[in-house]
Each structure stands twice: as C-alpha cells, then as structure tokens.
Structure 1
Amino acid sequence: MKTHKIPHDLDLDLAKLAARKAAEAYGERFAEYNYKANWVRDDRVELSFEVMGKRLDGAMTVKPRQLDLELDVPFMFRPFQSKAISLIEREALSWIEKARKGELS
C-alpha cells in the first residue's frame, strides 16, 4: 500500500480536528458506499467503503506537517485509484483551510 502525503501547516491538535471533520464529511459524501470511519488512535482513522460489491480499505494518519493517506485498492479498481485519492485529498485540504481560518471548533 502506497502512502500519499497531504501537507499542512497546522499545529498537531488542529490538524487532528481537521482530519476528524474531513472523516465526518466523507461519511456524508460517501454514505451510499457504506462508508465507515474508525478512529483507532487519536491520530489515525481507518476508512472503508464499498464500490461495485468490493470493499476498499484505507487509513489516514495525522502527523506534525502532513496527513498520510493509505488506500488499499483492488487490482480491478487501480485505474480509479488516483481519482479516489484526489477526492479524499481535496476534502482534507478544504478542512485544513477551514482550520487555518479559525472556522473549526
């Protein structure tokens, strides 16, 4: 599983809050894909959803200067891997920007 790095310039607690908000937003956006998010530590969430009867699993770990995104994509979905990562990254960056502007609580 390859790790995709999403840079941020937030302090660690604010980055964790932004990641939590992003994970919640994924739940609303991807509800029809049986999306699940499980925080296994305060800095790591395991994500999963279903597409065409196949389960896709991943994780996002909050680090001091980046979010590490891992996505385990079955072979038949590899052509869509970059699109999935792009969607997740865009949502995370949106919440990072809201955090930077002081819009999170």
Structure 2
Amino acid sequence: MTIERARLVTDKAWEAYSERFAEYAPKATWKTPTEADVQFTVKGVTLRGSLGLTQQAIEMDLDVPFLFRPFRSKALSLVEREVNLWLEKERAGEF
C-alpha cells in the first residue's frame, strides 16, 4: 500500500473513531505526511501519543501514566479495529 493510501485509510479510521468516542476528545495532528501526534482526554487527563505510517504498517503508541494503563490497551485495540475495518474497505475498493 502506498503512503497516500495508508494516510487515507488512517484518516477514515480516525474520523470514525472520533465520532464513536467523542467523549474522549480524540485528536490527531499531522506533523509530516507520515507522522501525527495523537491525544485523548480521560477523566480530565490528556494522554498523548504518536501515529506513524509506512508502506508496511500503520503504527500507534500512547504514553500514559500508570493509573491509565488499562485505557491505553483499550484505546489501542479500538483504533486498531477501526483501522483494520477501513483497510478491508480499501482492499475491497469501497473508496
């Protein structure tokens, strides 16, 4: 997959995730065509991380305080599920 297609898939997945989990105020700010800063707000605490694109992978990581570790796993798995859904749509030619 090209970087451009990976970015499109990521943008679609992030948009869907942001709508579904608006209460966490997810934000993604692209710094370069392949790197974004991401953040979520949980119980008044802002969690920050990064998103990276390559031709082989879409990678995301979150830096979280110890008390929020359960949220980290949940957030990463939900974003991964959304990305996989949009990857399937892209492979099927749905967009």
Alignment TM-score > 0.5, same fold: yes
Which of 43, 47, 54 is residue 38 of structure 2 equivalent to? 47
Q: Who is 2:75 aligned against?
A: 84
Q: What amino acid is the match of 1:90? A: R
Q: Which structure ranks higher in relative contact order (CA pairs < 8 Å, sequence separation ≥ 6)? A: 1
Moved over 6 A (4+): none
Q: Who is 1:70 aligned against?
A: 61
Give 1:11 deviation, angstroms: 2.8
Q: Distance in 2 between matches of 1:95 and 1:58?
A: 21
Give 1:103 deviation, angstroms: 1.2
Greater helix fraction, Structure 1 or Structure 2 = 2
In the alignment of these two chains, the number of paired residues is 95
Q: Who is 1:7 aligned against?
A: none
Gaps of 5+ in 2: none
Q: What amino acid is the match of 1:13? A: E
Q: Distance in 2 between matches of 1:31 and 1:95?
A: 19
Identity in percent: 46
Gaps of 5+ in 1: 1-9
User: Within 5 Å, which residues of 2 pair with 1:94-105?
Assistant: 94-104=85-95
SS in 2 for 1:102: coil
SS in 1 for 2:55: coil
Cα deviation, 1:5-45, whole Å, max 9, x if unaligned, reads: xxxxx233211110111121222122122222211111222
Normalised by the size of structure 1, how large is the TM-score?
0.81
